[in-house]
């Protein structure tokens, strides 16, 4: 899709004989044209605002405020904006608003030239921006579809609902879910959904035990030993046990993290052992409980 944007921006640059850039409505750079109006490079075209936009992929808040003051978000046709050295805008601009069904999707920017493009040239360029607007709207719609299907995968019940959600997501993404980067992305999303501290953007390398837990082929029932602890009635005991295991069984750190007295912690841990039949002094029992508590989040 990005190559499509580049082709359309290049088309506008050729139509108007001036370098064009395309930004979304948040002033983030999408594509820029390399046309500089003829033979040798015109150094006057190296406006610092345009240069910064290309190098950093976005404009400053000051520049954005200057441009928006000219009503570009409401405009339906070309907007001429004068230079403003105090805002860092050393050359005037022509802004072509990119719209789709009345909604502004972005902006095509051109450095003002002498002579300015004719009305016929600008009309032709605006026709191209309409095609850009359609592309941007389609891309946004596809993103919404993926987000919706991703959420469905994360929240679907085991069984046919989970399988159906996966199939819908594969269709929305348009590529095979068996590819490794895809599996990692889904695992990271599931982990972030289960453990907020990993988000809002979870990285595969930082998932810790969730790298193994999310690799399980299908959701499984809770282990019989840990099932009693995972009921709603014992939510606080489960939180205590998980915090204790997260802190490597160090009572002092655990009590501080929970904001309770050590004696309260010891009482809760004894209740955990009674409910589960596990021995928290046994390494394998601790591992089983820890993994069960993490898996329950997924």
Same domain, 50 and 155: no
Q: Are residues 233 and 275 in the same domain?
A: yes
> What CATH number does residue 111 fall under?
3.30.450.40
Asked if 208 contacts 278 with a C-beta cutoff of 8 angstroms, the reply is: no
Q: Is residue 126 a part of any domain in this protein?
A: yes
Token pair of 122, please?
Answer: 């600008």
Can you tell me the distance from the alpha carbon of 262 to that of 276, in angstroms, rounded to the nearest whole number?
21
Q: Which domain holds residue 165?
A: 145-201
Regarding whether 158 and 126 lie in a shared domain, the answer is no
Give the model confidence (pLDDT) of 223-241 as tens digits: 788 888 888 789 899 999 9
Q: At a CB cut-off of 8 Å and minimum separation 6, what does 61 contact?
A: none
Asked whether residue 50 is domain-assigned, the answer is: yes
Q: Assess if residue 211 is contained within a domain.
A: no
> 150 and 131, same structural domain?
no
The residues near 29 (Cβ < 8 Å, ≥ 6 apart) are 21, 22, 23, 53, 54, 57, 58
**Number of domain units in the chain:** 3
Residues 129 and 156 in one domain: no
Asked if residue 107 lies in contact with residue 97, where contact means CB atoms within 8 angstroms, the answer is yes
Catalogue the E-assigned strands of 150-229.
none
Q: Is residue 135 part of a domain?
A: yes
Residue 98 phi, psi dihedral angles, 5° rounding: -100, 115
E-state strands within 17-163: 20-24, 29-32, 79-81, 93-100, 103-111
Both 20 and 108 in one domain: the answer is: yes
Q: Which residues pair with 53 in a beta bridge?
A: none
pLDDT exceeds 60 at position 9: yes
279-284 mean pLDDT: 91
On whether both 291 and 260 belong to a single domain, the answer is: yes
Q: Tens digit of pLDDT for each residue in 169-225?
A: 666 655 444 444 576 766 677 677 666 676 666 666 677 777 777 666 444 556 788
Pick the last residue of a domain from 126, 141, 156.
141
Integer Rg of the chain from CA: 28
Domain termination site, one of 122, 141, 160: 141
Residue 61: CB atoms within 10 Å: 9
d(CA 216, CA 239): 23
| 264's tokens | 């309260």
| Helix-then-strand count for the chain, H and E | 11, 5
**Cβ burial 70-101 (10 Å sphere, 16+ → b, else e):** eebeeeeebbebeebeebbbebbbbbbbbbbe
Please tell me whether residues 161 and 195 are part of one structural domain.
yes
- Examine the pLDDT at 62 and tell me if it is beyond 90: no
pLDDT per residue as tens digits for the range 82-117: 887 776 677 888 999 999 988 899 999 998 887 889
Flag whether 103 is in a domain.
Answer: yes
Same-domain status, 80 and 12 = yes
φ, ψ for residue 95 (rounded to 5)?
-105, 125
CATH number, domain of 231, equals: 1.10.10.2840
CB 14 within 8 A of CB 21: no
Which tokens sit at 4?
């499509």
pLDDT value at position 122?
A: 95
Q: Which of 125, 141, 157 is the last residue of a domain?
A: 141
Residue 89 DSSP symbol: B
Same domain, 10 and 120: yes
pLDDT per residue as tens digits for the range 17-55: 888 999 998 888 888 876 444 444 344 445 666 666 665
| 31 & 129 share domain | yes
What's the half-sphere exposure (Cβ side, CA atoms, 13 Å) at 182? 13
Q: Is residue 87 part of a domain?
A: yes
Q: With respect to residue 208, please indicate whether it lies within any of the assigned structural domains.
A: no
Sign for the pseudo-dihedral over CA of 130, 44, 38, 92: positive
Residue whose pair of structure tokens reads 């035990």 in the numeric block = 209
133 and 32 share one domain: yes
Domain assignment present for 209: no
């Amino acid at each position: 899709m990005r190559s499509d944007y580049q082709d359309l921006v290049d088309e506008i640059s050729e139509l108007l004989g001036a370098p064009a850039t395309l930004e979304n409505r948040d002033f983030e750079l999408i594509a820029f044209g390399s046309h500089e109006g003829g033979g040798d490079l015109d150094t006057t075209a190296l406006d610092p605002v345009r240069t910064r936009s290309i190098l950093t992929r976005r404009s400053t808040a000051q520049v954005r405020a200057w441009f928006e003051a000219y009503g570009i978000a409401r405009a339906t046709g070309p907007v001429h904006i004068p230079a403003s050295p105090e805002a860092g805008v050393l050359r005037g601009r022509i802004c072509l608003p990119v719209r789709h069904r009345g909604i502004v999707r972005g902006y095509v920017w051109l450095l003002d030239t002498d002579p300015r493009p004719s009305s016929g040239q600008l009309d032709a360029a605006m026709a191209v921006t309409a095609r850009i607007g359609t592309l941007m709207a389609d891309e946004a719609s596809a993103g919404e579809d993926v987000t919706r299907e991703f959420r469905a995968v994360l929240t679907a019940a085991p069984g046919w609902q989970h399988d159906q959600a996966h199939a819908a997501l594969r269709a929305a993404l348009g590529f095979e879910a068996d590819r490794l980067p895809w599996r990692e992305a889904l695992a990271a999303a599931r982990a972030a959904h289960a453990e907020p501290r990993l988000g809002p953007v979870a990285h595969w390398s930082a998932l810790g035990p969730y790298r193994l837990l999310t690799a399980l082929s299908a959701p499984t029932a809770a282990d019989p030993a840990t099932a009693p602890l995972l009921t709603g009635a014992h939510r606080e005991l489960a939180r205590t046990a998980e915090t204790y295991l997260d802190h490597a069984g160090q009572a002092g750190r655990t009590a501080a993290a929970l904001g309770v007295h050590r004696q309260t912690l010891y009482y809760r841990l004894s209740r955990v052992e009674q409910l589960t039949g596990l021995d928290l002094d046994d390494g394998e029992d601790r591992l089983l409980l820890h993994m069960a508590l993490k898996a329950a989040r997924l």
